[in-house]
C-alpha cells in the first residue's frame, strides 16, 4: 500500500509562490493601459453611473408632439402646465406631421387634445371627463407608460386646484343651480345627482389631504397615487400605436432583433481587434511582415475578414428573425444599406481599436470600454428616455444608435432610402476614418 507524500510548505516554496505573484503584479503595473482598465476605468464607471442616477442633473426631456384640436384658453393653459413639469419638451404640430415625426423616432409620442377638452376640464361637477389620445411608437412602450402617468398626475392636480379655487367652485355651483331652476320634471333627480357628486368629490378631497399629511409627517415623499382622487378618473387616455400599415405582422421581435444585432456586432469587433494584438505578440505578424506583402495589404485582409463576418452574422440573424419570429422587412433596400453601412462602420472601428493596445489585456480592456460606452450612450443598455439630459445628448454621436435606427427603419419605421442615408453616411465615415487612422498607427507601430 503506497503512502502518499505531501510536500511541506517550506520557506522556499513560499518564496516561489510570492515571486510568481509579484512578477504578475509587476507585469500588470508596467502595462499602463491594462492598469488603467483594471483600476481606473471601473472607478470612472462608478462615477459615471453615480452622476447619471444621483438626481443632481436634470432628466432628459421626452420630446412630445402635441396636437391641440380644441384651441381654447383652457387647453392652452393645460399644455403650458404640462410643459412646466420639466419632464417633456412640447412641440405643437398638425396631426399628420406629429404622427410622421413619431414614426421616424424624432418624437417620443403624440398627444392629441380633441375638441371639447377645455369645456370638460372647466366643468367640475359635470359627469363629462376630459379625454386625450396618446400615440407612441411600438419600441417606446415604457416611455408611453411614463407619459401616461404624467398626464394622469397633471389631471389630478388640475382637479385638486379646481376644488381649492373657491371662486371656481362657486361659479360651477351657481351654474348647476341655474340648470336645476331651468329644468322642470327632472329637478329633484338632478339635484340629488348634483349633491351626491359634490359630496363624493369633497370626501375624496378630504381623504387625499389626510393621506398627504400622513406621508409628510412620516417624512415620506408624497406618492403619485396620493395626488389622485380615489374613485375618480380625472382624465381618459386613449392609447394608440404609431406605425404605418404593413403587409407583414409587427411584434416585439421587430424591435429586439436590432438590439441583438448590435451585440453581435460588438462581439465580432472585440474578437477581431484582439486577434491582431495576439498575432503580434505570438510573432505571427513578424512572419507576415517578412513576406512580400505590404502592411496595408495585411490590414486590408483583416478588414475584409471582419467585414464579411459582420455581414454574414447580421444576415443570419435577419433570416432567423424573418423565418421563425415573424419579422417583416418593410424596405429591402434600406435593410441592405443598413447591413453594409453598419458592417463598414464597425470594421473601421475594429481597425482603430486593434492598434491602440500593446498587450492582449490592455487591448481587451480598451476595446470593451469603448464598446460599452457606445452601447450605454446609444441606448443599448439604458433606454434613452431614462437617461439624464446630458447623457442622452451623447447618444446622437454613438454608432450604436445609428445602427439601431437604420435597422428599425427597415423593419418597422418604414424609412425610405433618403431617410436612412444620414445614418448610413455617418457609419461609412466612421469606417473610412477608422481604417485610415488605424493603418497609419499600425505602420508607425511596426516600423518602430
Q: Which CATH number covers residue 120?
A: 3.40.1710.10
Q: Indicate whether 375 belongs to any domain.
A: yes
pLDDT of residue 49: 53
**Residue that is last in its domain, among 241, 275, 291:** 241
Q: Indicate whether 178 belongs to any domain.
A: yes
Per the structure, the count of domains in the chain is 2
Buried b / exposed e over 248-271, threshold 16 CB at 10 Å, is: eebeebbbebbbebbebbbebbbe
68 Cβ neighbours under 8 A, 6+ residues apart: 75, 76, 79, 92, 113
pLDDT of residue 367: 85
pLDDT of residue 432: 94
pLDDT of residue 280: 72
Q: Indicate whether 52 belongs to any domain.
A: no
Q: Indicate whether 333 belongs to any domain.
A: yes
Residue 419 to residue 408: CA distance in whole angstroms: 12
List the strands of the sheet with 109-113, edge to edge.
88-92, 62-68, 109-113, 131-136, 236-241
Buried b / exposed e over 126-141, threshold 16 CB at 10 Å, is: eeeebebbbbbbbbbe
pLDDT of residue 434: 92
One domain for residues 440 and 336: yes
One domain for residues 291 and 413: yes
One domain for residues 221 and 263: no
116: alpha, beta or left? (left if phi > 0; alpha if psi -120 to 50): left
One domain for residues 179 and 262: no
pLDDT of residue 247: 41
Q: Residue 408's domain spans which residues?
A: 253-447
Question: Half-sphere exposure of 333 toward its Cβ, with a 13 Å CA cutoff?
Answer: 8
One domain for residues 167 and 257: no
**Residue that is last in its domain, among 241, 272, 302:** 241
One domain for residues 319 and 428: yes
| Contact yes or no for 124/156 (Cβ under 8 A) | no
One domain for residues 109 and 194: yes
One domain for residues 322 and 237: no
Mean pLDDT by 10 residues, the chain (448 residues): 51 61 61 61 57 54 87 88 84 88 82 88 68 80 80 77 58 64 58 62 66 69 51 75 54 79 87 78 72 75 88 91 86 95 94 80 80 81 62 81 90 87 95 90 75
Q: What is the largest CA-CA distance in the chain?
A: 115
Q: To which residue does cell 513576406 refer?
A: 291
One domain for residues 412 and 391: yes
**Residue that is last in its domain, among 219, 241, 263:** 241
3-state percent breakdown (helix, strand, coil) of the chain, nearest 5 = 70, 5, 25
Q: Indicate whether 191 belongs to any domain.
A: yes
One domain for residues 265 and 177: no
pLDDT of residue 199: 63
One domain for residues 83 and 219: yes
One domain for residues 258 and 138: no
E strands, 95-164, are: 109-113, 131-136
Amino acid at each position: 500500500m503506497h503512502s502518499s507524500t505531501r510536500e511541506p510548505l517550506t520557506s522556499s516554496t513560499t518564496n516561489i509562490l510570492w515571486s510568481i505573484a509579484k512578477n504578475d503584479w509587476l507585469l500588470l503595473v508596467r502595462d499602463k493601459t491594462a492598469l488603467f482598465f483594471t483600476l481606473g476605468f471601473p472607478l470612472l464607471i462608478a462615477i459615471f453611473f453615480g452622476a447619471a442616477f444621483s438626481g443632481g442633473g436634470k432628466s432628459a426631456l421626452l420630446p412630445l408632439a402635441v396636437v391641440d384640436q380644441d384651441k381654447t384658453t383652457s387647453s392652452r393653459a393645460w399644455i403650458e402646465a404640462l410643459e412646466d413639469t420639466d419632464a417633456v419638451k412640447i412641440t405643437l404640430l398638425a396631426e399628420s406631421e406629429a404622427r410622421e415625426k413619431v414614426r421616424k423616432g424624432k418624437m417620443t409620442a403624440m398627444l392629441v387634445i380633441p375638441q371639447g377638452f377645455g369645456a370638460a376640464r372647466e366643468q367640475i361637477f359635470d359627469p363629462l371627463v376630459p379625454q386625450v389620445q396618446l400615440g407612441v411608437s411600438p419600441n417606446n412602450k415604457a416611455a408611453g407608460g411614463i407619459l401616461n402617468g404624467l398626464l394622469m398626475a397633471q389631471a389630478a392636480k388640475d382637479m385638486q386646484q379646481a376644488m381649492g379655487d373657491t371662486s371656481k367652485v362657486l361659479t360651477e355651483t351657481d351654474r348647476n343651480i341655474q340648470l336645476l331652476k331651468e329644468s322642470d320634471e327632472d329637478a329633484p333627480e338632478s339635484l340629488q345627482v348634483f349633491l351626491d357628486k359634490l359630496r363624493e368629490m369633497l370626501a375624496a378631497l378630504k381623504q387625499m389631504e389626510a393621506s398627504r399629511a400622513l406621508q409628510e409627517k412620516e417624512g415620506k415623499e408624497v406618492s403619485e397615487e396620493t395626488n389622485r382622487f380615489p374613485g375618480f378618473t380625472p382624465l381618459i387616455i386613449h392609447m394608440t400605436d404609431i406605425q404605418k400599415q404593413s403587409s407583414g405582422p409587427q411584434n416585439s421581435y421587430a424591435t429586439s432583433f436590432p438590439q441583438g444585432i448590435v451585440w453581435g456586432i460588438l462581439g465580432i469587433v472585440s474578437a477581431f481587434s484582439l486577434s491582431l494584438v495576439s498575432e503580434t505578440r505570438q510573432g505571427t505578424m513578424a512572419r507576415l511582415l517578412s513576406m512580400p506583402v505590404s502592411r496595408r495589404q495585411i490590414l486590408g485582409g483583416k478588414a475584409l475578414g471582419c467585414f464579411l463576418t459582420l455581414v454574414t452574422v447580421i444576415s443570419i440573424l435577419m433570416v432567423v428573425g424573418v423565418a421563425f419570429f415573424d419579422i417583416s422587412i418593410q424596405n429591402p433596400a434600406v435593410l441592405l444599406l443598413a447591413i453594409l453601412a453598419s458592417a463598414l462602420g464597425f470594421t473601421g472601428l475594429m481597425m482603430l481599436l486593434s492598434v491602440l493596445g500593446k498587450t492582449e489585456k490592455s487591448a481587451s480592456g480598451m476595446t470593451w470600454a469603448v464598446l460599452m460606452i457606445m452601447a450605454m450612450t446609444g441606448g443599448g443598455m439604458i433606454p434613452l428616455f431614462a437617461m439624464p439630459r446630458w447623457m442622452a445628448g451623447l447618444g446622437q454621436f454613438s454608432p450604436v444608435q445609428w445602427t439601431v435606427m437604420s435597422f428599425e427603419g427597415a423593419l418597422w419605421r418604414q424609412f425610405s432610402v433618403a431617410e436612412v442615408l444620414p445614418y448610413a453616411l455617418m457609419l461609412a465615415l466612421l469606417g473610412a476614418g477608422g481604417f485610415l487612422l488605424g493603418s497609419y498607427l499600425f505602420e508607425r507601430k511596426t516600423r518602430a
